[in-house]
Structure 1
Amino acid sequence: MKLREQMPELTGATAWLNGEVAKTDLLGEKPTLIHFWSISCYLCKESMPQINIFRDEYSEKLNFMAVHMPRSEADLNDDKIKATAEELGITQPIFVDGEHKLTEAFENEYVPAYYVFDKTGQLRHYQAGGSGIKLLEKRVNRVLDDQANPAEKE
């Protein structure tokens, strides 16, 4: 995805964990962070505690959604995905992308990967990799500031 592109529709999940959301649920009031992860990804597991802290600190200002992107046949076991999500403390809705439908819509190739959308659904920031939570937080804060003061941007 390129910056300023619209958030894709959230369709094609093989399962949802922790509740289901539609694109319309994520637009309008708050920006949204969508993060891709996989049960076989060491960096995802390593960075998840930081993402959980970030989620909890920003829960009033930001929507959160996770996408489980399988990287192999072994990553397709829904029970294993659910158990790993519980173990990692992922409480936000999880789109289980067993057929890579959303992965393809996002043109995503990596886990972990983070997409920040403003409240209108425009992509404002993308990054991949296990480090960089500070950069992610900085970009989220920029989007929040832009949303709070739209006249200053024009």
Structure 2
Amino acid sequence: MKLRSQMPELKGEAAWLNGSVKREDLVGKKPTIIHFWSMSCHDCKETMPQLNQFKMLYEQRVNFISVHMPRSMEDTDIGKIKKAARRYKMTQPIFIDNQMTLTDIFNNQYVPSYYLFDQNGVLRHYQSGGNGMKMLEKRVLKLLNEI
């Protein structure tokens, strides 16, 4: 997905955990982070505590959505995904993308990945990999200062 692209519809889920969300619930109110992860991803597991801290700091001013992107057939087991989400204390809505529908719409190839959309639903920042929460925070603060 290219910078300045509009946030796509959130469709094609196998299930939602922690409640479901639609694009119209997110656009027009506050910035949104869409976080791609996989329960089999070592970097995802390592960075989850940082993401949870980050979410606690900004959840009143930023929407957080996670997308579980399977990397193997085992990663499509919804029961195991639920257990992983509980283990990592994920409270944000989680889109389970077993058919890779949303993953393909985003053209996402890596986990963890973070897509930061402004309050109007325009992609303003993308990053992937285990490092970089400081850069994500800088971008979030910049967007919040624009509001």
Partner secondary structure for residue 127 of structure 1: strand
Identity of aligned residues (%): 57
Q: How does 1:68-79 map to 2 (within 5 A)?
A: 68-79=68-79
In structure 1, the gaps of 5 or more residues are: 149-154
- TM-score, structure 2 normalization: 0.99
Q: Deviations over 1:51-105 (max 9, x none)?
A: 0011011011100000000001010100000000000011000000000000001
Residue identity matched to 1:121: G
Q: How does 1:16-31 map to 2 (within 5 A)?
A: 16-31=16-31
- TM-score, structure 1 normalization: 0.94
* Structure label with greater radius of gyration: 1
User: Is the counterpart of residue 2 in structure 1 residue 18 in structure 2?
Assistant: no
Two-structure CA RMSD over aligned residues (Å): 0.5
- Specify the alignment match of 1:123 in structure 2: 123
By how many angstroms is 1:144 displaced? 1.1
Consecutive aligned runs of 4 or more in structure 1 exceeding 2 Å deviation: none
Q: Deviations over 1:22-75 (max 9, x none)?
A: 000011110000000000000001001000011011011100000000001010
> How many residue pairs end up in the alignment?
147
In structure 2, the gaps of 5 or more residues are: none
User: Is the counterpart of residue 93 in structure 1 residue 93 in structure 2?
Assistant: yes
- Specify the alignment match of 1:151 in structure 2: none
- Specify the alignment match of 2:39 in structure 1: 39
Q: Hey, what's the Cα distance between the residues in 2 that align with 1:142 and 1:28? A: 17
